[in-house]
Structure 1
């Protein structure tokens, strides 16, 4: 008996089977719990049981959340450790100066501690020591020696080159008041040697020194060393509160 020949239906079935065999199968990727960082999603009771003391610390933070969001939140804070109470009090920063010192500085800045330069004579000739130095009454000559040897470093400097007398007066007054207000004790004032003046006389040099010698805030001054300006500058020691 002759074998049955495959028909059209058999051919269609064979093609369908071949197509199913050739179709790409979906690949499933297994991620281990260690790589994922968290365990597979537990149910709500399991999540609550797994919470640590840190999670309980945030117990009030999940009020009003859905069950799913609450579960995710508790998983996120599971490893969080609450800050331990160090029993430390947070105090405001301590001011650098006392209220009394600040008041004294304000008074100095307002000119209450020394006369304004506008009230000082340009022609006053004080009794002075040798080498272009001056010292207020009540202080010994050792003060000048200490000033010359650099016991007090120069903390601020003012250059009056090119200034007229009126400009120099205003700039010097503002400079000294600012130094007193900020607690600066030793300053340098560059007045020049007078080579650029019309008559060749050191007008600004002599006048600035006269001003300084009349101010109670200036305890002493002396000519600077050559590397700091020589005879064209003085370093002054200010009287601080």
Structure 2
């Protein structure tokens, strides 16, 4: 590069000096960034000091087996059964209607429901016979029967409890228990003493709440 005059030489010197200063600043910034990177990288090592790797113990670390899925539906069903436990101490006498024949209906239900039930408007779809069962067995069987009938979408069922003529003192013990148990079941809307052709005083015709039949 040919320089003409002293002024041009001084201008060239200034440009070269500025370039050297710029390169020096860039290098200084690069070195500072590298030092910061290394400092961050070695932050943990600098904090804990020198360490030695542990010797292998030869043991294998097995992954824990995943927990088995909980039978939630079964637990809910069992809990529902416990909540629906039928009591023998429940007094059903004041809730029964004893006109010409014994009957029961939930509060708010008209007399026509009992009349239609007694007349056979709803056909009997299923029945259970509690003859010969002990009190505990009869209570459990009746509770399960009503629960399953309601789940199946049935509306009218028959419960045969017998007339109690074979009981000690010829007193119908199971008959009174069945009345009490049925009243405690939320699925039961009403019941009446069966017609003679359907069992008479030894059976009840029960109307259930509308349920959702299983698919």
TM-score band (shorter)?
0.5 to 0.7
Q: Determine if the alignment matches structure 1 residue 156 to structure 2 residue 116.
A: no
Choose the corresponding residue for 1:180, options 146, 150, 153.
150
Q: Which is worse superposed, 129-138 or 187-196? A: 129-138
Pair 1:112–1:167, CA change in 2 (3 A): closer
Task: Give the match for residue 5 of structure 1.
Answer: none
Unpaired stretches in structure 2, ≥5 consecutive residues? 1-73
Task: Give the match for residue 96 of structure 2.
Answer: 128
- d(CA) in 2 for partners of 1:235 and 1:174? 17
Structure (1 or 2) with the greater helix fraction = 2
Deviations 1:129-185 (A, max 9, x none): 221100010101000011011111000000001111101001101111110111111
SS at match of 1:188: strand
In 2, are the aligned partners of 1:192 and 1:205 still within 8 Å (CA)? yes
Pair 1:234–1:197, CA change in 2 (3 A): same
C-alpha RMSD of the superposition:
2.4
Task: Give the match for residue 117 of structure 2.
Answer: 147
- d(CA) in 1 for partners of 2:200 and 2:82? 27
Length-normalised TM-score, structure 2: 0.57
SS at match of 2:158: strand
Choose the corresponding residue for 2:175, options 205, 208, 222.
205
- d(CA) in 1 for partners of 2:178 and 2:139? 8
Unpaired stretches in structure 1, ≥5 consecutive residues? 1-105
- d(CA) in 1 for partners of 2:133 and 2:140? 10
Task: Give the match for residue 21 of structure 1.
Answer: none
In 2, are the aligned partners of 1:133 and 1:221 still within 8 Å (CA)? yes
Moved over 3 A (4+): 108-115, 117-124
What is the aligned length?
135
Task: Give the match for residue 58 of structure 2.
Answer: none
Alignment of 1:75-90 (within 5 A): none
Length-normalised TM-score, structure 1: 0.51
Deviations 1:98-149 (A, max 9, x none): xxxxxxxx9x976759952434635443322221100010101000011011
- d(CA) in 1 for partners of 2:143 and 2:181? 10
